[in-house]
Structure 1
Amino acid sequence: MTAIHQQQQHRPPSLVPLLVPLLAGGLVVLALGVYGRAHTPTGYAVGVAGFSAALPMKAWLTTGAFVLAIVQVVSALSMWGKLGITIPPAVHRWSGRLAFVLTIPVAFHCLYALGLQYDVPRVLAHSLLGCFFYGVFTAKMLALPKRDTPGWTLPVLGGLTFTALVGIWLTSAFWFFTAIGIKV
């Protein structure tokens, strides 16, 4: 084996394959933030479909996404061999898909009806976390099929996605349930 071939085998993975996913994720964050500030909030965006109002709908859908995000973490740990139990990869894929789908009406309502708000620190944190969540989720999904990324890519992007969703839940649903009460 030549010295050049040995160097190539021991070269750390390049960050170049992450450029497009990270750039796309950054653009999503920026686009959502700009839209949220530039758009004149309407106060109404989606029907509440069985809920008493928009806030309970958003709190419960976000809670559903939060619970599924916990399933995501547990199933990811299983897939990486960290739990000693085997959870089928389909559980990870479908819990992620369902969690994402649950966030769509919530995000649509937040952006269209309320916009990006910055007057109240909790609401500002919630707005920024929402934009960040969709950006890092985009980066994770675009990095997922790439086989030439560093080994830390998916755990870091997945961890950031989970952390953002936990922050979103804490600044919205948890706040709602503790400040307003448990309502449907």
Structure 2
Amino acid sequence: MTTPDPDLTRPRATAPPVPSAAAPAAASWTAVAVPVAVGTGVAVVLGVYGRLHTATGLSLALPGFSGTLYVKAWLTTLAFVLALVQILTAMVLDGRITVDLPNLPAVHRWSGRFAVLFTVPVAVHCLYALGFRFDDPRVLVHSLVGCLLYGAFTAKMLLLTRPWLPRWAVPAVGGVLFSVLVALWLTSSLWVFTTAGFHL
């Protein structure tokens, strides 16, 4: 009587499944769609709150400034300047501009963080003290881009943590964020400086 060959009776290992090319593609679109949807929700919630909330008319005062209008104008201007730093450092990191600067990634990250941070007191005052307004075209655009700013920022921060991310996703949302901040500055700080004067 012959004994069975152990190599023949041992279960054969199956080859690992070949990943489908459609899976990463689907995952990449999901990785983009979910943060964008969340960011859109943030923008809508801010707009609805600003519209439904009863404006209080409170002022925002800081030492050295002549009034609330100039506090907000200069904070937004600082955010605008830091947004320019963001764009320039992003172009260097992407290889579009060749500049040898130390700690460039850190400069890029922190300039973005401080840019948004400087807008927070402005946004809180606009939403709480003034509300979402559409009685004037400039004010309407300013209200819309103010809400969109935080939606774009939320989307970008969430995108940075997602796998299977297309290469274009973060630059695209970053470009939207920069464009919104420029529109915010044009409809607020520049308007203040050209109508009420350039001072603190």
Normalising by structure 1, report the TM-score.
0.92
Query: What is the match of residue 83 of structure 2?
Result: 69
| Counterpart AA for 1:164 | V
Quote the offset at 1:47 in angstroms: 3.1
Query: What is the match of residue 187 of structure 2?
Result: 171
Query: What is the match of residue 152 of structure 2?
Result: 136
Structure 1 segments (4+ residues) deviating >2 Å? 4-14, 45-50
- Conservation of the 8 A alpha-carbon contact between 1:76 and 1:92: yes
| Counterpart AA for 1:156 | A
Counterparts of 1:157-168 in structure 2 under 5 Å? Answer: 157-168=173-184
Structure 1: segments with no counterpart, 5+ residues: none
Partner Cα separation in structure 1 for residue 199 and residue 63 of structure 2: 14
**Partner of residue 96 from structure 2, selected from 82, 86, 90:** 82
Partner Cα separation in structure 2 for residue 119 and residue 10 of structure 1: 48
**Partner of residue 61 from structure 2, selected from 26, 47, 62:** 47
Say which structure is richer in helix. 1
Quote the sequence identity (%): 50
- Conservation of the 8 A alpha-carbon contact between 1:122 and 1:171: yes
| Counterpart AA for 2:71 | M
**Partner of residue 109 from structure 1, selected from 112, 119, 125:** 125
- Conservation of the 8 A alpha-carbon contact between 1:45 and 1:112: no
| Counterpart AA for 1:69 | A
Query: What is the match of residue 24 of structure 1?
Result: 38
Bigger radius of gyration, 1 or 2?
Answer: 2
Partner Cα separation in structure 1 for residue 120 and residue 64 of structure 2: 17
Query: What is the match of residue 8 of structure 1?
Result: 21
Aligned alpha-carbon RMSD (Å): 2.0
CA pair 24-49 structure 1, distance change in 2 beyond 3 A: farther
Out of 62-71 and 146-155, give the one that drifted further: 146-155
CA pair 80-161 structure 1, distance change in 2 beyond 3 A: same
CA offsets, 1:12-45, max 9 Å, x none? 4621112321121011111100001001111115
| Counterpart AA for 2:64 | G
Partner Cα separation in structure 1 for residue 137 and residue 119 of structure 2: 22
Query: What is the match of residue 94 of structure 1?
Result: 110
Aligned length: 182
Is 1:126 equivalent to 2:139 in the alignment? no
Partner Cα separation in structure 1 for residue 98 and residue 64 of structure 2: 41
Quote the offset at 1:168 in angstroms: 0.3
Out of 124-133 and 40-49, give the one that drifted further: 40-49
Partner Cα separation in structure 1 for residue 66 and residue 54 of structure 2: 25
CA pair 10-164 structure 1, distance change in 2 beyond 3 A: same
- Conservation of the 8 A alpha-carbon contact between 1:65 and 1:100: yes
Structure 2: segments with no counterpart, 5+ residues: 1-16
Quote the offset at 1:167 in angstroms: 0.2
